[in-house]
Amino acid sequence: MTGIELRGVEKAYGKNPPVIENLDLQIEEGSFTILLGPSGCGKSTILRMIAGLERETAGHIFINGEDMRDVSPGGRGIAMVFQNYALYPTMTVKENIEFGLKNIKTPKQEREARVTEVVKMVGLTNYVNRKPQHLSGGQRQRVALARAIVKKPKVFLMDEPLSNLDAKLRAQIRTDLIELHRNLGATFVYVTHDQVEAMSMGTDIVLLDNGRIRQQGSPGSIYSAPRNLFTAQFIGSPPMNVVKAEDMEYRVDHAPHGTVSLGFRPENAVIVSERNPSERGRALFRGELAAREILGDHAIYKFKTACGSIRAKIMSGSTVEYGEWFVGVDRKYLYYFDEKGDAII
Amino acid sequence: MRDIEKVIDEYITLAIPMPRMAAAEKFLRGTARAATPYIMVAPAILTLCVFVVYPIMYMIWLSAFRWDMIGPKIYVGLGNFIELFSNPDFYLVIGNTFKFMSLSVSISIILALFLAVYLKANTRVNALLQSFIFTPYITSMVSVAFIWAWLMNSEYGLLNFMLGKAGVGGVRWLEDAGAAMYSMILVAVWKGLGYNVIILISAMRAIPRQLYEAAVLDNTKPFRTFFRITLPMISPTLFFLTLMNIIAAFKVFDQIALMTGGGPINATNTLVFDIYQFGFKFYQLGYASAQGVVLMALIAVCTAAYFGALSKRVHYGGEA
């Protein structure tokens, strides 16, 4: 098969218990795959194993159907962008970009042409003779990208490349990366802990926790059909509200058998002043408004209820005053989870 | 609020009662304040003057006289320098000094670079090897000189004993005029190597690991990685270390005095040892001072030349 495949991969450091155990993962050719998860979930380790910077303790990694076990990082047809860019500080922008080409003895003419093209692509034409220390964070980031692009790899590996940039620049480079992916048609594997980056750029998200895949799928399916509580609470901003069914003041009578907890997204909640007993299809919570964040086009309200904190995201309308309110959710927006935290469908 | 401000105000007035001072007192206070920093650095400056600046000045002054330490000083102008530069032995001594300096420094630095690359990996064996290699540096020169003089003894020394066992004829390490200087260089490199290795290892360990990972992904061969990444990244350290080595090598004295006494037939006589001989053995202090002036000028010129030639190629500045 094409793309990248991990089969039964295990990684352990020294004599410690493995951080990744028996991992199977398929990354489709040409996809923009995001490895998403909290810090320490093993996402960077997976990326580094694909790059060959770390060796898997067991299992096999295939790139385009070829077993990579004895292939050096340089021979894998990949390029990597590091979190701190890892530019060579003693070389100019141009030298940084062409270093890899020089190493594989690319003819000078071709090298020059490729460097010029790439430098133009990332908009650094006027900076080719500068040293990295004289560039801004965003420019360094683009040098790092250029250094990867110039190699024309089949696979781009990116390890949290945006985390050292400020919010505005991050948003800009996010769209740049989407365009880049579409233009190059290469496979992108991108590690991040930021679900906004994952949702906005990815065509495929692999959600990881403790070295295990919790869910893999398109951003849409991960958002709308979380298969477990971990996914439900990791994706979305603010995350999904989850309450214990037994703590609810007003029971939901249509919950499926085995339901232990219920979830709903803050954006699906409505705030009402009175309880309307005739509305039977709705889950209802009585709560005290504890905090509100007015964010222009929408507002986030945090309520204290009998079953813990609940957040509601209201898209516009008048500001809700502090006091006691009811939060309602239509039954079609409810998610049900069993004892083990798996979704009941 | 008011009260607190008042208290603070009063406190300040008490501490620095400027407004209520008489003009004279004010002047004194101002002077004292201006003098404070100078008083603070005075002990250091004074020490520097007494033990560095004054001796240098005195040496330069003395170089214009003939003096045997007991009799009167006889003014000879540039006589000592004329005598110095017309003495063929002086050129031999200068040559020896440069030979010792250039060979011991270059061998030591290059060897230290190799060893540092090899020993930079943080393992237990390496930690042990590092301490082994560092031990000569902290050993007293007197012990080192005696041990090596014994090892190099042509009749009962260990080195010749082993050469004999290997079927090779012995070397008259310290007695042969052709070999003695190389023996001196060998000992100097052996003693100073550990320090250079430790400093270079720490510089190499400070290079971010990601640079090497990027290099691996860029298909960089090990040699190229060393010359394009490691070497430029440690260039500030290397630059400084080499300079310190050069200055120290120029000033070599104890090793020569203890092992060869400048012999045989001046083969290991270096500038500082020669100064010592003329000053405190032959009691020609004016002549020795003139040599001292030449040494000072040589070190200054070499340092300036070194800076001029290399400082532009040193990479300073943060990582990126």
Q: Per-residue pLDDT tens for A65-92?
A: 889 988 999 889 899 999 888 999 999 9
Q: Do A89 and B217 touch (CB under 8 A)?
A: no
Same domain, A66 and A178: yes
DSSP character string of A150-217: TT--SEEEEESTTTTS-HHHHHHHHHHHHHHHHHH--EEEEEES-HHHHHHH-SEEEEEETTEEEEEE
* pLDDT at site B152: 85
Candidates B219, B224, B238, partner chain A, best to mutate (most A CBs within 10 A)? B219
Nearest to B215 by CA among A112, B113, B223: B223
When the pLDDT of each residue in chain A is averaged and rounded to a whole number, the result is 89
Report CA A128 to chain centroid distance, whole Å. 32
How many C-alpha atoms does B14 have within 13 Å on its Cβ side? 6
Would you list which residues of chain A are within 8 Å, Cβ to Cβ, of chain B?
Answer: 51-53, 72-75, 78-80, 82, 84-91, 99-100, 103-104, 131-133, 135, 140, 147
Looking up residue A289, the CATH number of its domain turns out to be 2.40.50.140
Looking up residue A178, the CATH number of its domain turns out to be 3.40.50.300
**SS3 readout for B81-125:** HHHHHCCHHHHHHHHHHHHHHHHHHHHHHHHHHHHHHHHCCCCHH
Q: Do A103 and B221 touch (CB under 8 A)?
A: yes
* Partner A contacted by B315 (CB < 8 A): yes
Q: Do B217 and A73 touch (CB under 8 A)?
A: yes
* pLDDT at site B315: 74
Q: Do B320 and A135 touch (CB under 8 A)?
A: yes
* Partner A contacted by B206 (CB < 8 A): no
Q: Which residue has the higher pLDDT, B302 or B19?
A: B302
- pLDDT exceeds cutoff 60 at B54: yes
How far is Cα B291 from Cα A262, in angstroms, rounded to an integer? Answer: 93
Q: What is the pLDDT of residues B267-302, one digit of tens each?
A: 888 889 989 988 888 888 889 999 999 999 988 998
Of A213, A230, A247, which residue is a domain's last? A230
Least confident of A197-206, A298-307, B290-299, B309-318: B309-318
A188: left (phi > 0), else alpha (psi -120 to 50), else beta? beta
Q: What is the pLDDT of residues A126-170, one digit of tens each?
A: 999 999 989 988 899 899 999 999 998 999 999 998 888 888 888
Same domain, A318 and A220: no
Question: Residue A313 — φ and ψ, nearest 5°?
Answer: -115, 115
- Nearest residue of A to residue B223, measured between CA atoms: A103
Q: Do A89 and B318 touch (CB under 8 A)?
A: yes
What is the span of the domain harbouring residue A169? 4-230
* pLDDT at site A315: 85
Same domain, A50 and A70: yes
Banded pLDDT at A227 (limits 50, 70, 90): very high
- Nearest residue of A to residue B214, measured between CA atoms: A86
The number of domains in chain A is 2
Single-letter amino acid, residue A3: G
In this structure, what token pair is assigned to residue A196? 């906004």
Q: Do A86 and B214 touch (CB under 8 A)?
A: yes
Least confident of A15-19, A213-217, A223-227, B10-14: B10-14
Q: How far is A53 from chain B (nearest CA, A)?
A: 7
Q: What is the pLDDT of residues A41-64, one digit of tens each?
A: 889 999 999 999 999 999 999 998
* Partner A contacted by B319 (CB < 8 A): yes
- A201 burial level (CB within 10 Å; 0-12, 13-18, 19+): buried
Cα–Cα distances (Å) from A47 to A190, B209, B211, in that order, read 8, 16, 17
Same domain, A212 and A242: no
Q: Do A88 and B315 touch (CB under 8 A)?
A: no
Of A230, A250, A282, which residue is a domain's last? A230
* pLDDT at site A259: 86
Same domain, A263 and A211: no
Same domain, A201 and A168: yes
Nearest to A96 by CA among A151, A158, A170: A151
Q: What is the mean pLDDT of residues B246-268?
A: 87
* pLDDT at site B13: 57
Q: What is the pLDDT of residues B79-126, one digit of tens each?
A: 888 988 888 888 999 999 999 999 999 999 999 999 999 998 888 898
Q: Tell me which residue in A72, A84, A90 faces B315 most closely, judged by beta carbons.
A: A90
Same domain, A182 and A306: no
Domains and CATH numbers, chain B: 2-62 (no CATH), 82-313 (1.10.3720.10)
How far is Cα B264 from Cα B122, in angstroms, rounded to an integer? Answer: 45
Same domain, A123 and A204: yes
Cβ contacts of A85 within 8 Å, gap of 6 or more: A132, A140, A141, A143, A144, A161, A164, B320
Cβ contacts of A128 within 8 Å, gap of 6 or more: A92, A93, A94, A115, A119
* pLDDT at site B27: 83
